[in-house]
A and B are shown apart, each in its own frame.
Chain A
Amino acid sequence: MKHHILRSFSLVFVSVLFSSADNCSAENWPGWRGPNRNGVTTDTGVPTTWSASENVLWKMPLPGIGTSNPVVWGDKVLVTASEGRDQGELHVIAFDRDTGRERWHQRLWGTAPTLFYGRSGMASPSPVTDGKRLFAFFGTGDVFCFDLDGGLLWQRAIAEEYGPFENRFAAASSPLLFEDKLIVQCDHYGASYVIALDQQTGANRWKSDRPEVWLSWSSPQLVPSGDRVELVLSGSEKLDGYDPRTGSRLWTVRGLARECVPTPVIGHGMLFVVSGPNGTHFAIKPGGSGDITDSHVVWKNDKGTSFVPSAILAGERYYLADDKGIGSCMDARTGKLIWKKRFGDKFTASPVSADGKLFFTNESGSTLVLDATQASYEEVARNDIGEEVYASPAISQGKFFLRTATNLVCIGKKERNAVQSAE
């Protein structure tokens, strides 16, 4: 299966398949932006209409603040949060997927207080799971590993070991799993680095210093390139490719924004990278060595780049909603603009896609649903949950999970749920 996916490298690229987990299913949402770290799932039966009352299966209050996306594995929905004057009180909570009942709740201390953003606190990075363990990284620079019953297995206070995170909004990068390693991008004004931790013990497998890098909030991505896999990090006016097995740097593309937030997405044999505002979209062929700016950039344009939201690739088209609410659709292979539209309100959350639909949720809590099978702009619905939303949604097993500013909301088709319950 692993080799098949590598060979058939196209739109769908399941980063979790590179991990040692033996039971990965695309219908789970195991980490930042889902099974492929690109917001896209093969899940079906997802509702396209809802409101604060319609199609809401359950709603549970969350402690504190956070913008990490919910993680769904099997019958659990896992969420992180932080609270307190310095946001040093950390929470990891597991909810029952079907009922919303709290299954377990771990409360821990963050070890290295730093500045934070008022909406996200220390819970910007999304946790990630391989179905056996949950790995949670917080803006305080702490990494915790739990079994899926909530038992703490190991922890690392990496900000205490390598220096506190010096940036304005705390660390926000969501870690990823590769083989038996957990990889965490730690870019900040202090000593930046990317580190791979042993999933079993938490010990360093490798650490690669990034002395020329300053703060960014982007998350790493994995991309297959020929017979190798490359780890891609966006930040500090460039994109770097690394060997995820050793941490050695392979290549660099120059020209990104000074501070990067969006996570690169992959497809059509290319990496799609955006950073802004007033930045540039890049489509890049991975591979090569050294400075590949002049040799591997397939196309670029500077129309409608975003500061926070990541882009999404659906079939032949590349979509983005920028922070100010301007949506755009481009031809993924050429970068040519297909349409541009004012979506309304501001965006922090990144879009997700399932079942031929695109879901863009703005800060007011309104989710714009578009038909991704059409090249033209085809609006399916606008669904208002009635609460502010800054976190990216999750889709799993026919349900749409929205983390609002105060609640975790499970949206689903009630009749389908009734059938499932009866079974």
Chain B
Amino acid sequence: MKCFVACLMLVGFAWLDAPYDPAPHLTAIAKSGPQGEGSATAKLARDELAKQGVDILPPLLVAMDTSNAVAANWYRTVYEEIVARELKRAETKWPIEFFKEYASDAKRVGKPRRLVLTLLDKLDPAFRDQWLPTRLEDAEFRYEAVGLALAAGDRALTSKDDAAAKAEFRKAFEAARDSNQVSQAAAKLRTLGESADAVRHLGLVVDWWVVGPFDAPQKTGFAKVFEPETRVDLQAKYRGQGGAEIAWKRHHETDALGQLDLNKQLGATREAVGYAYSEIDVPREQAAQVRCGADDNCSVWLNGQKVFGRDQWLNGTRFDRFITPIQLKAGRNTLLVKICQGPQHKDPEVPNNWSLQLRLCDADGRGIVFQSRLTEKTGSEK
């Protein structure tokens, strides 16, 4: 019996001396998910984790690098509680170097990296200012880094240092993915006599053949199949809305962000369908994205295969509204887009837009390199 008690005491002391292992609690939280699943277990685990000190912040942050949004928030409640408590203690030894490495690791999920950067603002106030301008290729911090480059360019302009300004604006332009920043940097470069093609940078498709309007009353246009969907024949004539004969016409869009206004190209109308067709050459087979927005809605066929369609009405053309992964083949690729026009809003003051914006880019938002095969100069381009 004495032996048994001694063993128990040894185990007990050993347990008391053992460092806290957060792994079981972190794992328990990782199992939380949809439908509120695992919440009770996650709460118990988070309560235990939150009792710990800053030593568990590195494994906690590693766990926060997850696509499980529910688990990430459970972890965050632990992080916030520990950080708030430890910031009040002068003697806390923060793992600052780990924080810097973590914030700088662009392969990790962005949100916890941003959280750590906010903490570093308190622990090492000089860090952000010297670090952020270097994040031009970092998707999480690129927007701020580009903003800093644009601001630096403006300062150089004020100092009449055109060479430095050009360098900063060029840096901003090349790194930017946000359409406003791209446009801003391009405009700055152009005022300095530099070339900057925002359309090409973003991969906007601006060379089209367009045809319409086809008659599509009462929002039937999205589902109804018109001739261009079965075969694209740029020489064909079709029976359009009101019995009018309609034909394809070439259009080169000059809008700064490639927004194609079908009311201008096909005539203002309602309850109709229009098509836009393009062909591009790409140098190699590659994974890409088609990013598009339309008013009222659009469907997209790549090389004859439908890759996107969303039956929505009166929702506006917005940049990168819809994002669809695609696979481009080396050489010629064809794009057919169907754009529906709904009925007039019952408020006659609401404009009845009919438009499309479409671009081809990589997963990071940089336009892919392509050449339009539509070299004919006809229609509105004449």
Contact = CB atoms under 8 A, between A and B. Distances in A.
B184 to A, nearest CB: 16
B295 to A, nearest CB: 12
Interface string A216-250: 00000000000000000000000000000000000
User: What is the interface residue range for chain A against chain B?
Assistant: 20 to 34
Nearest to A200: B36
Interface string B84-124: 00000000000000000000000000010000000000000
A238 to B, nearest CB: 14
Given A108-B76, A109-B72, A157-B70, A201 B313 contact: no
B69 A154 contact: no
B74 interface: yes
B143 interface: yes
B73 interface: yes
B77 A152 contact: yes
B69 A204 contact: no
A259 to B, nearest CB: 9
Nearest to A259: B314
B315 A189 contact: yes
A203 to B, nearest CB: 5
Contacts of B70: 155-157
Interface string A102-135: 0000111101000100000000000000000000
Given A88-B111, A109-B69, A109-B72, A154 B312 contact: no
Given A107-B76, A107-B80, A161 B36 contact: no
Contacts of A155: 36, 39, 70, 73-74
B39 A153 contact: yes
Contacts of A277: 347
B43 A160 contact: no
Interface string A149-177: 00111111100110000101000000000
Contacts of A203: 35-37
Interface string B315-349: 11010000000000000000000000000011100
A357 B76 CA distance: 44
A144 B70 CA distance: 10
A231 to B, nearest CB: 21
B73 A109 contact: yes
Contacts of B345: 258
A168 B316 contact: yes
A222 B296 CA distance: 34
B34 to A, nearest CB: 5
B147 to A, nearest CB: 10
Contacts of B37: 203
A154 B315 contact: no
A382 to B, nearest CB: 32
Given A197-B36, A278-B347, A85 B69 contact: no
B36 A198 contact: yes
Interface in B291-327: 312-316, 318
A202 interface: yes
B111 A109 contact: yes
Contact of A85 (B36, B40, B73, B143): B143
| B35, B111, B316, B345: most-surrounded residue (chain A CB, <10 A) | B35
B69 A157 contact: yes
A368 B308 CA distance: 51
A165 to B, nearest CB: 12
Nearest to A147: B43
A214 interface: yes
Interface string B56-75: 00000000000001101110
B28 to A, nearest CB: 15
A154 B72 CA distance: 13
A258 B43 contact: no
A387 B76 CA distance: 33
Interface string A71-98: 0000000000000010010000000000
Contact of A156 (B35, B46, B111, B312): B35
Nearest to A160: B69
Contacts of A198: 36
| A152, A197, A198, A204: most-surrounded residue (chain B CB, <10 A) | A152
Nearest to B37: A203
Nearest to B109: A109
A111 B34 CA distance: 12
A248 B70 CA distance: 29
Contacts of B313: 214
A189 B321 CA distance: 12
Contact of B34 (A85, A107, A115, A161): A161
Contacts of B77: 106, 108, 152
Given A109-B111, A189-B312, A189-B315, A202 B36 contact: yes
Given A152-B73, A214-B315, 6 more contacts: A107-B76, A109-B69, A156-B36, A157-B34, A161-B35, A166-B315
Q: What are the 4 closest A-B residue pairs judged by CB atoms, nearest first?
A: A202-B36, A154-B39, A111-B69, A154-B36
Interface of A: 85, 88, 106-109, 111, 115, 144, 151-157, 160-161, 166, 168, 189, 197-198, 201-204, 214-215, 258, 277-278
7 contacts: A85-B143, A107-B80, A154-B36, A155-B70, A168-B315, A201-B40, A278-B347
